[in-house]
Structure 1
């Protein structure tokens, strides 16, 4: 039977359509659905995804502190000697920290994702897979019960490992207090350029956080190394040099934890119903509620009697008794101080919030006496200022600093935050290279 010419043409067209459909499906199956163009951005935008230059690398460090979570996105320029040089930092902070989500870790997701988006916007997307993503938690999580802290960190780890960045098994951890001090020491000395020269040019650091406080410096006198407790001295290698540093973190002596102790409370222990913390460090007519580490305390000032400063200083001395070790050599060295040391200096007008400057121990003491005196008749805008300044003045003297000791105050050096984050990122990148 002969097939009509029109039917033959129709059959040929059908065969052609079937063949083209097959070819299209076969080609599609070999093409990743999320990447029409190999240079297409993975964030859904129509921007090209390409690296600026091959001689840059990046590191992302999350700082999970007691009062907030911050992300630092560091851009480093590779150098011939293997020690990368910081080219740029992007920084963003959110409140609260992770600790408030201890009973419901899922709720921390939105904040972590918000900070991850900052990283995605600032790291070229073809470098995402090779850019380490790390979170280190500090005193806020150290003070939580172990299981609660673990659940929070496990949640963050899940979020990190679902991200496009490089996240190893150790990408999320609670930072040891001495590591915090050493990393901050590295940060400051990298930024002022002293770690690429002789160790004798380094400066010490003082960091006063919410839950803990650190002192770190490189001893120049062998006697300091020989007479210090063994866990106060740490040696490490960096930039092809070995550094020995005196470093100690005092957990519970950060400003917020110290406040609670001076007021007479215990960390993580709510008061029985109807009980109040009464303190001579507060204005006599003051009575309010204060929240610390998810516990709400009712606090009030003591009735007028002795001068406020003397009464408060006595309380602070008792709280600090035998809790701090003097570092004799430290008094003769240059020190940078930051965090709450900086913030309270701003409060008393020694420095402007956006600038750095110098301060003496006696400046804190004089300001404490002045503020405490004024609070005998007027509680002022900051009800804790008398307590905070008195504590700082006493703490610095307990650490071995004389009243005329001058400290350099800095929130940033060369536009980079003076926190432990940069130093910890250097350490982590070096560990990646060693492996």
Structure 2
């Protein structure tokens, strides 16, 4: 069932001269093709139609394409809500002009993105084509918009082009309004959000769901009101694929259908079909994408956006915001949010008191290309390094804001894969001779031979010129630790003391209060390799190093046999076994020599059977924290990932604030909203209103209105009755309102023997002329117009057509107007039929909404009005004097009005 609410959309058709803008517009409005070229200055058309079960009034502005009218462009660009950028496939010049129009629109709107659609017109002239379809699609991907080819002559895709831009406007407006509102999907039901991440080693999809703040507040207790929104995730909502999207840098056109399709299909299976259009989707790429050249990165993101828009209906109006490469610092901060959200550092600070007023956990992450650290320094360091901290602002369920000051930094090139590349390069440089082919590698099991790219070799590789360099394992793990240490670059100059790795400044870490959790490689390298051989999943580094040494000192042939029998579990395959020795040495160096984590169980041992981490876990049960480091993968069956942190921050931004509080997000550590502030949702202040839910399992806001405890119950009911009365009065129609007014006024209106009334007679309250009650006579009566005490003139009543309307599917009444419509005089014989008159056409009362609206519903006084094409005012072009042929028929000639005849009473 189509929505009853009429929404007007201001569409602007832009393009060079002769590309067919007017032909497209007239074909949409009148289903007619104009085969003669008639340059347009500016024409305005209106058409009412139904798009996706919603009534829409399209206000289409057909603009001039000639260069001499370019000064007019900025005016209509300021008021347009959506733009159709039209070029002709037979004109390359018109295609090249599209870039200029798009840049001008964004400059005038002061936006990075705005609803546009690229239209390649005249596709019926394929034999004269100068612009290929692929070129149009590539330009659309660059703009992050849709592309369509049309033919005004054959009416190919004409409706689709205009309907698509309306859909883009709706998506854009919904996104912009969903950020500041408490309900991103416009309902009080469960809210969904899809988060995708893509980097160097993998890409993944993570889904989440939460209640809107209005509903959640009703169900929450006092403790829950002082907590962040509850995000529900399930294992089946998460999916990972390998490799990462950055591997498609040289073939971006394949990233969608060839790589990300399973993730999008997975997301579509999670979100209910009726909620897909209201569910925002984000794809945030990390270090792998940061390493790509700028042009490859840009094209890859454009391809992802184009694929998502073409193959899904997720809420994706702004690709620059939703699909982007995020800095390493942002990635680390999101991870810090996720870890503390799951551990309870935000919601239950009293249970996680580490001392010195500290109750949050530090966060360590290591991927294939980069590594991050995020933590809240102690009070002394926070004051000393205040300008180095990020100010993070979130909002609890009760609407109260909470702030944290966090230090975050990243080391690009310090992920395990990039570190391995630097390590191999160092081995090649240390060989001393370019002719050296066999390079001993202490970070490989004994006898394992691999290429410099990491491929396992059965025999040394040979080429025409001789042997290529290859690596052969020696299994000396202590030597491996020594050779990976220089990769920390601890000797790099430090411009701002203190520094950790690569000369990067980091405030001093107080391990008495800063307790870290590590994810990704910190977990995979320390736990998964030996998970099945040792049933306990919490290891200290003493036992871990002992097990790594034992594994790496084995002959590769023995390891291969163990892999075949799953001696180390099914998760350990050949690739894992090849990499584990180097990864373990790199991780130990980064943790202890780089960051400075105390070596629990590593330096001070109590025998081979000692497990320091078990002691830490036992201590944690009493104190509620892990000390000083623990690798984690899941907390309460929820994976700790930076994508979850992004979701938590977004959900917090959707909570309705208590008052005009500052927005949710993060930026420099200054009061207010710093210039670099990253909004979790929108710059706007959240709106306190939420639309009613269509979900029967959720409560509506009207429950509170009718609740006896609701403080505004009586005023609300009175306001509701007043609005209902006004609506019913307006729905009565013009004649019924006049009769009702006449009946209400008659008890106070004295009877007069004749139809005339003294012009000086005072009016009572109910007989005075009011703006909302037009002074009209009842049926069969009229009111005289006096002019200088002389002749009287009469205009008879016209029958109302409020109860009659023409209907059609998809397209209703159409009209064309650009200003105030003027009554037209019929040049036929004047006939008077019982008080009705056809002498004047009521051209100004389109659709009962006032003069000049041009909606096309009005009195059925003549055939033109009944057809739905009510009024058309001349464009600037047709008002200008001048001859010449016209491609469209002109307006009927308006003759001068004859003198009005006086009415003579009997």
CA contact under 8 A between 2:377 and 2:507: conserved in structure 1? no
Q: 2:244 aligns with which of 69, 89, 97?
A: 97
Structure 1 unmatched ranges of 5 or more:
1-28, 36-50, 267-271
- Matches of 1:171 and 1:354 in 2, distance apart? 43
Structure 2 unaligned segments of length 5 or more: list them. 1-47, 55-184, 218-224, 350-356, 396-400, 428-433, 455-467, 491-500, 561-573, 601-626, 654-679, 685-906
After TM superposition, the structure 1 = structure 2 runs for residues 29-428 of structure 1, keeping only pairs within 5 Å, are 54-78=188-212, 79-80=216-217, 83-89=228-234, 90-110=237-257, 111-162=259-310, 163-167=312-316, 168-169=318-319, 170-198=321-349, 200-223=358-381, 226-227=384-385, 230-231=387-388, 233-239=389-395, 240-264=401-425, 279-283=441-445, 285-289=447-451, 291=453, 299-301=470-472, 308-322=476-490, 323=501, 328-332=508-512, 333-349=514-530, 351=531, 357-374=537-554, 382-397=577-592, 398-404=594-600, 406-428=628-650
| Residues 384-408 of structure 1 deviation map (CA, whole Å, 9 limit, x = unaligned) | 3222111111110110111116533
Q: As a proportion of its length, which structure holds more helix? A: 1
Residues 256-311 of structure 1: per-residue CA shift (max 9 Å, x gap): 11111122269xxxxx999776533224533223648xxxx964126x6xx81232
Q: Pick closer, same or farther for the CA change 1:344–1:360 going to 2, 3 Å.
A: same
Residues 375 and 56 from structure 1, CA distance in 2 versus in 1: closer, same or farther, beyond 3 angstroms?
Answer: same
Aligned with 2:315: secondary structure?
coil
Match of 2:774 in 1: none
Instruction: Point out the more displaced range, 178-187 or 108-117.
Output: 108-117
Check conservation: 2:511, 2:628, Cα contact below 8 A: no
Give the superposition deviation at 1:193.
2.4
CA contact (8 A) 1:184 1:418 kept: yes
Distance 1:208 1:288 in 2: 24
- The offset of 1:241, in angstroms, is 0.7
Q: Aligned partners of 1:108, 1:290: CA distance in 2, in Å?
A: 27
The CA deviation string for residues 137-165 of structure 1, in whole angstroms up to 9 with x for no partner, is 01111111111111111111112333311
Change beyond 3 A, Cα 1:157–1:375: same
1:432 paired with 2:432, answer: no
1: distance between equivalents of 2:550 and 2:534? 24
TM superposition shift of 1:314: 1.9
Deviation readout 1:330-357 (Å, 9 max, x if unpaired): 53332221211111122452x5699994
User: Secondary structure of the residue that 1:247 maps to in structure 2?
Assistant: strand
8 A contact 1:346–1:352 mirrored in 2: no
Q: TM-score, normalised by structure 1?
A: 0.76
Contact in 2 for aligned 1:411/1:418 (Cα 8 Å): yes
- Do 2:381 and 2:508's aligned partners in 1 also have CA atoms closer than 8 Å? no
CA contact (8 A) 1:184 1:421 kept: yes
Query: For the structure 1 residues 215 and 126, does the alpha-carbon distance in structure 2 shift closer, same or farther, using more than 3 Å as the test?
Result: same
Please identify, of 250-259 and 399-408, the stretch whose mean Cα deviation from structure 2 is larger: 399-408
CA contact 2:369–2:414 (8 Å) conserved in 1: yes
Q: Distance in 1 between matches of 2:519 and 2:189?
A: 33
Q: Paired residue for 1:20? A: none
Residue 76 of structure 1: how far off its partner (Å)? 1.2
User: Looking at CA atoms only, which structure, 1 or 2, has the larger radius of gyration?
Assistant: 2
Q: 1:87 offset after TM fit, Å?
A: 2.1
SS across alignment from 2:372: strand
Aligned pairs, how many?
376
CA contact (8 A) 1:348 1:367 kept: no
Q: CA deviation at 1:373?
A: 3.2
CA separation in 2, counterparts of 1:311 and 1:107? 43
CA distance in 2 between counterparts of 1:352 and 1:191 reads: 26
1:423 Cα shift?
A: 0.9
Change (3 A) 1:378 1:298: farther
- Greater fraction strand: 1
Decide whether the 8 Å contact of 1:211 with 1:254 is kept in 2: yes
Given that 2:200 and 2:247 are in contact with CA atoms closer than 8 Å, whether structure 1 keeps it comes out as: no
Q: Matches of 1:106 and 1:364 in 2, distance apart? A: 44
- TM value normalised by structure 2: 0.38
- Indicate if the aligned counterparts of 1:361 and 1:406 stay in contact, CA closer than 8 A: no
